[in-house]
Amino acid sequence: MRHWVRKLAILFVAFCISVGVMAQDSRHFPHSDGERARYNVQIDFRKAYISGICMMLNEGGTVNCCVFNEFGVPAMTYTYNIATGKVKIISIIGKMNRWYIKKMIRRDLAQLMSVLHKDEGGEYTNSRVGVKYSFTILNDTDNGTSE
Amino acid sequence: MRKILYSLLIALLPAAAMAQTKNEQQIIQTINKASAGLKSMECDFVQTKHLKMLNDKMVANGKMYYKQPDKLHWEYTSPYKYTFILNDNKVVLKKNGRNDVIDINQNKMFREIARLIMNTVVGKSLGDSKTFKASVKESPSEWTVTLVPQKKEMKQMWTTIVLTFSRSQQMISTVRMCEKNGDYTLIEMKNVKLNKPVSDAHFNVR
């Protein structure tokens, strides 16, 4: 009997540890240095939408972000400075590489990143131009692991 | 004597270059022949996107079905769900319960994407000299074809697309799409079934 109780206790502790590890790896916004996050991205325009994945890494208070579509085709990379709340676009696909588009996206992303940073959801709508940005946590269902 | 040797070398160089080109052409012809004979294909795939800036990668898994002449079902099953179906002139995108049907004749961008995915997956890109410049290397077990994009839109996205073909199966095994910034996406085909019956239900565009 005591043997079984001990076995159950060990199993329970192992279960709790694994759940704890999973919870730590739940990939919320990367508030601290070295933290990572992954989001499903959807940007809705008035008549169309685009979707993809955004991966983030906090490096010394700056969050580096890469956005690409489901096929892996790159869309843009940008950085978000947590202290200043500013977004800098590093690269963007050809058709969107216009100063006025980048200006709008930079402002919108700064608003969205602020919302994500404050854990106030993952949506921002630019009602002036009718563009809605939705970022939802991408749960790792299996081997989508970090290096 | 030295002059004779130089003359001989100069005379032989173009012949060597031609021989290599001929060998490359033979390999490309063999691959094209195998692609033309491909009636249907079904496989699992693993897509790994490597991001240099983040020192990270995204691994996605999925299933693919192909049926001649132009039916393709490309479905990501984890960690995200996304389905791309090409059937004749229609493309269907499925995500989050949304089904969007696109007529590729009315959408140039989708026409290019659909053609690229299909031709790359089944190895038909090699004959498309307007879109890619191809070079071939061979090893005992595989052929490696490097495609250099020629069109402006593609050059902006990729520097090279490297296709690896299994010599034994005469079938594509990996696709590696390399970007300017050092990022790349690797697609590995697994559990490949060739010319087995594939249900038309996989290509339903309604």
What's the pLDDT score for residue B161?
92
Domain around B17:
2-203
The domains of chain A are located at 36-137
| Closest residue in chain B to residue A144, using alpha carbons only | B59
A141 touches chain B (CB under 8 A): yes
User: pLDDT exceeding 90 applies to what percent of chain B?
Assistant: 45
Q: Hey, are the CB atoms on A144 and B117 less than 8 Å from each other?
A: no
What's the N-to-C CA distance of chain B in angstroms? Answer: 76
Residue A16 Rama label (left phi>0; alpha psi -120 to 50; beta): alpha
| Closest residue in chain B to residue A74, using alpha carbons only | B157
Question: Is the pLDDT higher at B153 or at A121?
Answer: A121
What's the pLDDT score for residue A3?
55
What's the pLDDT score for residue B15?
43
What's the pLDDT score for residue A119?
86
Q: Hey, are the CB atoms on A144 and B157 less than 8 Å from each other?
A: no
What's the pLDDT score for residue B124?
67
DSSP labels, B68-94: TTTEEEEEEEESS-EEEEEETTEEEEE
B28 touches chain A (CB under 8 A): no
pLDDT band at B13 (very low <50, low <70, confident <90, very high): very low
Give the pLDDT mean for A87-113.
94
What's the pLDDT score for residue B11?
47
> What is the Cα–Cα distance from A70 to A53, expressed in whole angstroms?
7
Interface A:B, Cβ pairs < 8 A: 75
What's the pLDDT score for residue A43?
92
Q: Which residues of A touch B156 (CB under 8 A)?
A: 93-94
Question: Is the pLDDT higher at A15 or at B119?
Answer: B119
pLDDT band at A2 (very low <50, low <70, confident <90, very high): low
Optimal mutation site among A47, A66, A135, A147, interface B, most CBs of chain B within 10 A: A66
Closest residue to A94, CB basis, from B80, B82, B156: B156
Least confident among A9-23, A70-84, B122-136: A9-23
Q: How far is A72 from chain B (nearest CA, A)?
A: 6
- Read off the tokens for A54: 């955004």
DSSP labels, A40-105: EEEEE-SS-EEEEEEEEEEETTEEEEEEE-TT--EEEEEEEETTTTEEEEEEE-GGG--HHHHHHH
Q: Hey, are the CB atoms on A77 and B96 less than 8 Å from each other?
A: no
What's the pLDDT score for residue B12?
42
- Number of structural domains found in chain B: 1
Which of A5, A79, A63, A55 minimizes the C-alpha distance to A31?
A63
For the cut 70, the answer to whether the pLDDT of residue B6 exceeds it is no
Give the pLDDT mean for A49-69.
95
Tell me which amino acid residue B29 is: Q
Q: Hey, are the CB atoms on A144 and B60 less than 8 Å from each other?
A: yes
Q: Which residues of B touch A73 (CB under 8 A)?
A: 157, 185
pLDDT band at A111 (very low <50, low <70, confident <90, very high): very high
ipTM: 0.81
B60 touches chain A (CB under 8 A): yes
- What average pLDDT does chain B have? 84
Backbone phi and psi for residue A75, each to the nearest 5 degrees, phi listed first: -110, -55
**pLDDT tens column, B156-195:** 888 999 999 988 887 889 999 999 999 999 999 999 998 9
What's the pLDDT score for residue B56?
96
**pLDDT tens column, B69-109:** 889 999 999 999 999 999 988 899 999 888 889 888 877 76
Question: Is the pLDDT higher at B120 or at B125?
Answer: B120
* Beta strands in B17-129, from DSSP E residues, in sequence order: 40-51, 56-67, 71-78, 82-87, 90-95, 98-103
3-class DSSP state for residue B19?
Answer: helix
Q: Hey, are the CB atoms on B185 and A144 less than 8 Å from each other?
A: no
A71 touches chain B (CB under 8 A): yes
Tell me the CATH number at B21. 2.50.20.10
Least confident among A5-9, A95-99, A114-118, B125-129: A5-9
3-class DSSP state for residue B177?
Answer: strand
> What is the Cα–Cα distance from A82 to B153, expressed in whole angstroms?
34
For the cut 70, the answer to whether the pLDDT of residue A59 exceeds it is yes
What's the pLDDT score for residue A106?
97
For the cut 90, the answer to whether the pLDDT of residue B125 exceeds it is no
For the cut 60, the answer to whether the pLDDT of residue A145 exceeds it is no
Closest residue to A66, CB basis, from B53, B80, B157: B53
User: pLDDT exceeding 70 applies to what percent of chain A?
Assistant: 76
A73 touches chain B (CB under 8 A): yes
> What is the Cα–Cα distance from B76 to B63, expressed in whole angstroms?
7
What's the pLDDT score for residue B189?
93
What's the pLDDT score for residue A8?
44
Question: Is the pLDDT higher at B124 or at B55?
Answer: B55
pLDDT band at A11 (very low <50, low <70, confident <90, very high): very low
Give the pLDDT mean for B121-145.
81
